[in-house]
Structure 1
Amino acid sequence: MRNEVEEVEKMLRDSTFYMPVSNEEKAAVYAAMANDFRGTGHWYYCENGHPFTIGECGMPMETSQCPQCGSPVGGHDHEVVGGVRPATDLERQFGGLRI
């Protein structure tokens, strides 16, 4: 799991994060972030449905690009860019994990 955590750290430093597809991978990444980063911030989908996370308070303060499709992600002053929507299903599905 060390490689996965290191990859997550790299993606977070680059301001965007690609979420794996399978539920098992999603749960492992969510748990690793909650454990190693003291929380997961908030999860969102780009305009094309690719999940990403914003760390710390979970609200956007800068824009970036989706690593899968290049669409704008993030935002400014706690407001998301157009087309970005909260990934409430991911937070609901994995938010109750006990680390």
Structure 2
Amino acid sequence: MRMYPVPLDLMKEDKIFGGKLSLRQFIILVIGIGLGIVAFIEMYKYFNIRIAVIPGVLFTLLGLWGANFDKDGMTLDKYISYSVQFYLQEKKYVWKGSVEIEKNH
């Protein structure tokens, strides 16, 4: 029997939870659900259940949205990382007609 090597797609995440969620997505979803539960419990101490359920559901929905986030092929963690790097890096502003532009052209 001949065996042919199958190349692995290392750029794509494996869907290991029910064939729908990758490990990264599952962790983000669990964090969102956990924050929702904590928010519900803390709000329930001071308010009635109708008010306490609102932040719980919002955090859970935020976790669900974050797990499925995809902007231009970037996941949420990469998008946040690149955004922070962009805003924290030193920017160079060049005015039209400046000496640096004249030297380059």
Q: Hey, which of these two has a bigger chunk of strand by percent?
A: 1
Structure having greater relative contact order (Cα 8 Å, sep ≥ 6): 1
Q: Hey, which of these two has a bigger chunk of helix by percent?
A: 2
Q: Say which one has the larger Rg.
A: 2
TM-score between the two structures when normalised by the length of structure 1: 0.22
TM-score between the two structures when normalised by the length of structure 2: 0.21
